[in-house]
A and B are shown apart, each in its own frame.
Chain A
Amino acid sequence: MTGTGIGAPVRRKEDQRFITGAGRYTDDLSRPGQAHAYFLRSPHAHAKILSIDTAAARAMPGVVAILTGDDLAADKIGGLICGWMIHSKDGSPMKAGPHPALAQGKVRYVGDHVAVVIADTYAQARDAAEAIEVAYEVLPAVVDARAAQKAGAPQVHDVADDNTVFRWHLGDKASTDAAFARAAHVTKIDLVNNRLVPNPMEPRAAVGEYDPGNESYTLFTTSQNPHVARLVLSAFIGVAPEHKLRVIAPDVGGGFGSKIFIYAEETVCVWAARKVGRPVRWTSDRTEAFLSDAHGRDHATHAELAMDENGKIIGLRAQTIANLGAYLSTFSSSVPTYLYAPLLSGSYDIPAIYAEVDGVYTNTAPVDAYRGAGRPEATFVVERLVEVAARELGMDPAKFRKRNYVKRFPHQTPVIMTYDAGDYGASMDKALELADYKGFSRRKRESARRGKLRGIGFSSYIEACGIAPSQAVGSLGAGVGLWESAEVRVNPTGSIEVLTGSHSHGQGHETTFAQLVCDRLGVPIENVIIVHGDTDKVQFGMGTYGSRSGAVGMSAIAKAIDKVIVKGKKVAAHVLEAAEADIEFKDGKFTVAGTDRGVGFADVALQAYIAHKFSGQDLEPGLKEGAFYDPTNFTFPAGVHICELEIDPDTGVTTIERWTAVDDFGVIINPMIVEGQVHGGIAQGVGQALHEGAIYDESGQLVTASFMDYRMPRAADLPSFQVGMTVTPCPSNPLGIKGCGEAGAIAAPAAVMNAITDALGHEDIAMPATPQAVWRAAQKNAAMRVAAE
């Protein structure tokens, strides 16, 4: 390891520009002749559009064009797609309704796109939008997934009876039922996984432009995966041919999943740019972000755990209703199915598992992947079940977990996954020590003396990351492969450009990816630049989500670097007049084995390009190699988080006093960045557990449509974290990386809720455990005490 190689806490190269305001985001771009788009959105959750009268609006100052769903249809622009096919248990394909970028005849949620106004200025576009007269026939709306499945509920899409998109299942029902039949104890819980609004700091934005000279389009957009955006916009939506559409995702200020998807707004900006002959730009305001960014979670689950007489888990079954919103977003169908149920084994050896999941349409914003995507929901189910089971059995929750952990690897679960490596007991032991678990009862007594309720909660999570082997996801219904590409271009001076299909929107790739290059090629980190986010530069890539950039994206880079070294050895052999087989490469130097003769990496690069020492017939000039890497398995980061908190029963305020996180992310490239990812993930998970929750009223209005009502986690809500690591290298990729981006958000909600229920002494509280909810739950405590006396 060099000072900037793998394992070094290198400061983030990109932060200089971010913290000095020199970042370049989509909204910072100014294109010559640009016009501004404003989307007229539905004020109703469910309504027929009887007519749209744009005459008065068209006459307003500065208006360039007003376009509606009819114009989209006339131009044969296709609808937005969902790229993962799910089949119901009866074998029928999921029932996906149409998803036009601008509404065609009907609106289905508040914020749905009715028309776009394009004008010289944003204010003019907005003024004109107010002058559009839309006649609606308002229909009854349904916002709760369980209510949507009931007879007589308003039907969101004609194609989906009972608003049910799919009735999917996984696992073996018969063997699971048999396990429950012979169980000594069964634990049952009902859980709601609350709906979240992603709220990245930078709202979504798009600039579309059209060059009539070569009939080509450019889209600047806030995307986590610009190549996928280009593929979908060309092959499925049909706004432009793939080879004539360039998608650029410049600096992007956070995504958390919400910028994976291909939305109406960027589709319209590209399409409209050609129609009006000017660049068309749009930037979401915060209210639009609340209304129209794909939301996360929103599950209702009944789950049961079966134990034998020794406290050994012998079965798990779960029934989940997943609210998918009004339309299927890009990957929404995969989140409550294949990203969820295969994780229901948790870190445990559970011989029989059966899960049923219904995906349901409602009159709410589409729901799709959000930090963790399915895995937080699974972890919440498993870790709440296990905690409650331990309590019911009168066992210490740590001991109960350790008894049931998977201990031998590889381990085949009954729900698809083959866990490749891990040592869950080691993580638990380390976490117990860091958390001073032994001292908890003393701290609880001390809290009680001050009139406070103290609780401790565990979350022994596992996740499947590094998605994923293309063949595997293809067999599960994915419309794409999930490999990654890389190209390593060595310049004649020895500086290096690495092109990656991963996309950085806060993760620090410009630093960590460069560290890999330093480590392998022995070049100074300042001589390495990471290029991403432009389909004209990077040939193809699958983007960043699912904690996959390290495990998959960096593995592709490593593979390309290996090829560079092979080629470099050929060049060095000519330079050193030695046999290629005798050339060794180490610490940035090619040497002839057993001699002191050698040549540095930069000199080899120069020789590769001037090509004076070898014949072009023997060896191609240049030093540039590309690679595609397709992983052999998912990766399985896992760990133990312990939350210790205190409740003020007078106000219901919960204060997190201690947080211990012991994670196994495999090999770590940059421990500082990894720790930062853990911190951010925990904050988001605590946000879900204690604070956040999107609330629609019965008419389908989003009550929490601004920060005045949607409670984000704040720095002051959190203690200093105790972060520890254990390392079992991942055997399924060349770098041993498992991924770290989502772990905190996956682990935290269960840890918090287990701690709150421990403090309260009962399970009757749901997320978010707001002060009001906790106070009410504590009132129940008091009532229980009175009843007991």
Chain B
Amino acid sequence: MYAFTYHKPSSVRQAAAMLAKNEDAKLLAGGHTLLPTMKQRLASPSALIDLGAMPELKGIERKGRSVVIGAMTRHGEVAESAVVREAIPGLAELAELIGDPHVRHRGTIGGSVANNDPSADYPAALLALDATVITNKRKIAADEFFQGLFVTALEEGEIVTKVSFPVAQKAAYAKFRNPASRYALAGVFVAKRGSDVRVAVTGASENGVFRWTAAEEALKARFTAKSLEGMAPSPDGMIGDIHADSAYRAHLVGVMARRAVQAATSR
């Protein structure tokens, strides 16, 4: 790790001002991607702006037909939240599957979403549940927010403050973990809301989280695992590495999609 200065502002406005003044600065949420990268000397921000002291970024609440989660809410808090468990149990289950207990007690939803790691879990939930990312400047639909590997719609100086999830009738997440890192190697979130069905896939594509539209169409016809029998997305554009080549990954997406639908329909 190289030396850096550390700031812990008490409001989003203050943080945004600091960010505007220092273009090499980085926002620090849970730190689970940024800090290891800094330790390996692969990132060297001149300053860290810690978002951990802002009550406005924390908390989970039910607002009408949505569940709104503050950006600095830890994965463990989402996993254990009675509000989330009741409204969108699949979302709580996803949070419970992230990393290990240490990670879940430090990592945050805002950090995960803003980083848009292709193997992160939350982007699949946002995309499948048609969530809205709320920043200090605007509201962005998940479909517009995630724009490829580590790329989002966030502009310079923009800070994620909340994520709003519409409540789905049926939703579930199934993940095949990378055997070593335990990140998603193929993670599929399925959600049914009214006549709309969305299937979002993380961990698998070279372009990051994506919607598997063929599966969506099949499930719109009938929301059952059988509808996806024998289906898998094309291996073209899938990540290939020592743990899973693109063909195996594509196959696993199909398996996980069926298991997610199975879970969603059996509660």
* Interface residues of A, Cβ cutoff 8 Å to B: 123, 126-127, 287, 650-652, 691, 695, 703-704, 707-712, 770-772, 775-776
Known A-B contacts A708-B181, A775-B248, A776-B248; the reply to A651 vs B242 at CB < 8 A is: no
CB nearest neighbor in B for A710: B180
Tell me if A708 and B251 are in contact (CB < 8 A): no
CB neighbours (8 Å) of B243 from chain A are 709, 770, 772
**A709 nearest in chain B by CB position:** B180
Interface contacts beyond A695-B242, A709-B242, A775-B248: sample of 10 additional A-B pairs, CB < 8 Å, sorted by A = A123-B3, A126-B41, A651-B252, A691-B179, A703-B242, A708-B180, A711-B180, A771-B179, A772-B248, A775-B251
Size bin of chain B's contact surface: 10 to 19
Closest A residue to B251 using CB positions: A775
Q: Is the CB of A704 within 8 A of B181?
A: no
Q: How many A-B residue pairs have CB under 8 A?
A: 39
The answer, yes or no, to whether B244 is at the interface (CB within 8 Å) is yes
**Which chain A positions have C-beta within 8 A of B252?**
651
Contact of A707 among B3, B41, B181, B248 (CB under 8 A): B181
Residue of A127, A691, A695, A708 most packed against chain B (CB within 10 A): A708
Query: Is the contact region of chain A dominated by helix, strand, or loop, or is it mixed?
Result: loop
Q: How far is the CB of A331 from chain B (nearest CB, A)?
A: 29
Bound complex: CA A707 to CA B179 (Å):
10
Chain A positions within 8 Å of B41 at CB level: 126
Q: Which residues of B contact A650 (CB under 8 A)?
A: 255
Bound-state Cα–Cα, A188 to B179, Å? 32
Contact residues, B163-212 vs A (CB, 8 A)? 176, 179-181
Question: Once bound together, how far apart are the Cα atoms of A363 and B1, in whole Å?
Answer: 29
- B56 on the A face (CB < 8 A): no
Complex: chain A residue closest to B183, CB-CB: A708
B3 surroundings in chain A (CB, below 8 A) = 123
Tell me, rounded to whole Å, the shortest Cβ–Cβ distance linking A197 to chain B: 12
* Across the A-B interface, the 8 shortest Cβ-Cβ residue pairs: A711-B180, A708-B181, A711-B179, A650-B255, A772-B248, A709-B180, A772-B244, A695-B242
- Residues in B with CB closer than 8 Å to A770 are 179, 243
In the bound complex, residues from chain A placing their C-beta under 8 Å from that of B40 are 287
Q: Contacts of A711 on B, CB cut-off 8 Å?
A: 179-180
Q: Is B61 an interface residue (CB 8 A)?
A: no
Q: A695-B242, A704-B242, A770-B243 are in contact. Are A709 and B251 (CB under 8 A)?
A: no
The docked-state distance in angstroms from the alpha carbon of A710 to that of B181 is 8
Which one of B1, B2, B181, B255 contacts A651 once the chains associate, using CB atoms below 8 Å? B255
Distance, CA A127 to CA B1, complexed state (A): 10
Bound Cα distance A666, B212 (Å): 60
- Residue B23 at the A interface, CB < 8 A? no
Alpha-carbon distance A783/B245, docked complex (angstroms): 19
B173 CB → nearest A CB, Å: 16
Question: CA of A538 to CA of B41 in the docked complex: distance in angstroms?
Answer: 43
Residues of A within 8 A of B180 (CB): 704, 707-712
Cross-chain pairs A/B with CB under 8 angstroms, 23 sampled = A126-B41, A127-B2, A650-B255, A651-B176, A651-B252, A691-B179, A695-B242, A703-B242, A704-B180, A707-B180, A707-B181, A709-B180, A709-B181, A709-B242, A709-B243, A710-B180, A711-B180, A770-B179, A770-B243, A771-B244, A775-B248, A775-B251, A776-B248
Q: Give bound CA distance, A704 to B3, whole Å.
A: 28
* Docked pose: A685 CA to B1 CA in angstroms: 36
Closest A residue to B181 by beta carbon equals A708
**Minimum C-beta distance from B255 to chain A (A):** 5
| Closest CB in chain A relative to B45 CB, distance in Å | 16
Give the CA-CA distance A237 to B179 in the complex, in Å.
Answer: 42
Contacts of B255 in A (CB 8 A): 650-651
Complex formed: what's the CA distance from A712 to B180 in Å? 7
What sequence of 0s and 1s flags, for each residue 231-267 of chain B, a beta carbon within 8 Å of any chain A beta carbon?
0000000000011110010011001000000000000
In the complex, A708 Cα to B117 Cα: how many Å?
14
CA A703 – CA B243 in complex, angstroms?
Answer: 11
Question: In the complex the two chains form, what is the Cα distance from A775 to B243 in whole Å?
Answer: 12
The residues of B that contact A651 with a CB separation of less than 8 Å are 176, 252, 255
In the assembled complex, the Cα of A310 lies from the Cα of B55 at a distance in Å of 80
Docked CA distance A775–B186 (Å):
15
- B176: which A residues are within 8 A, CB to CB? 651, 771
List, in ascending order, chain A residues with CB within 8 A of B179's CB. Answer: 691, 711, 770-771
Residue of B nearest to A708 (CB): B181
User: Smallest distance from the beta carbon of A220 to chain B beta carbons, Å?
Assistant: 25
A707 to B100, CA, bound (A): 14
Question: Bound complex: CA of A771 vs CA of B243, how far in Å?
Answer: 8
Give Cα A278 to B248, complex, Å.
55
Residue in chain B with minimal CB distance to A712: B180
Enumerate chain B residues within 8 angstroms of A775, measured Cβ to Cβ: 248, 251
CA distance A707 to B181 in the complex (A): 7
Complex: how many Å from CA A360 to CA B183?
A: 37
Q: With the chains together, A771 CA to B3 CA distance in Å?
A: 41
Measured CB to CB, the nearest residue on chain B to A768 is: B179
Contacts of A772 in B (CB 8 A): 243-245, 248
Smallest beta-carbon distance B43→chain A, Å: 15
Cα–Cα, bound, A556→B31 (Å): 53
Residue of B nearest to A126 (CB): B41
CA distance A650 to B255 in the complex (A): 7
CB-based nearest A residue for B255: A650
Q: Which residues of B contact A712 (CB under 8 A)?
A: 180
- State in angstroms the CA–CA spacing of A775 and B176 once bound together: 13
Residues of B close to A691: CB separation below 8 A: 179
Residue of B nearest to A287 (CB): B40
- Please name all residues of chain B whose beta carbon is closer than 8 Å to the beta carbon of A708 when the two chains form the complex: 180-181
| In the bound complex, CA of A691 to CA of B180 (Å) | 8
A60 smallest CB distance to B (angstroms):
13
Interface residues in B87-145 (C-beta closer than 8 Å to A): none
Task: Kindly state the separation between the CA atoms of A606 and B233 in the bound complex, as whole angstroms.
Answer: 83
- Which of A123, A287, A712, A770 is the most central at the interface, judged by chain B CB atoms within 10 Å of its CB? A770
CB distance from B259 to the nearest CB of A (A): 9
* Bound form: Cα–Cα A695–B40 in Å: 21
A708 to B177, CA, bound (A): 12
Distance A772 CA – B242 CA, assembled complex (angstroms): 9
- By a CB distance below 8 angstroms, the chain A residues around B245 are 772
CB within 8 Å of A: which of B41-69?
A: 41
The distance from the CB of B181 to the nearest CB of chain A, in whole angstroms, is: 4
The distance from the CB of B183 to the nearest CB of chain A, in whole angstroms, is 8
Alpha-carbon separation in the docked complex, A470 to B179 (Å): 44
Quote the shortest CB–CB distance from A344 to chain B (angstroms): 31
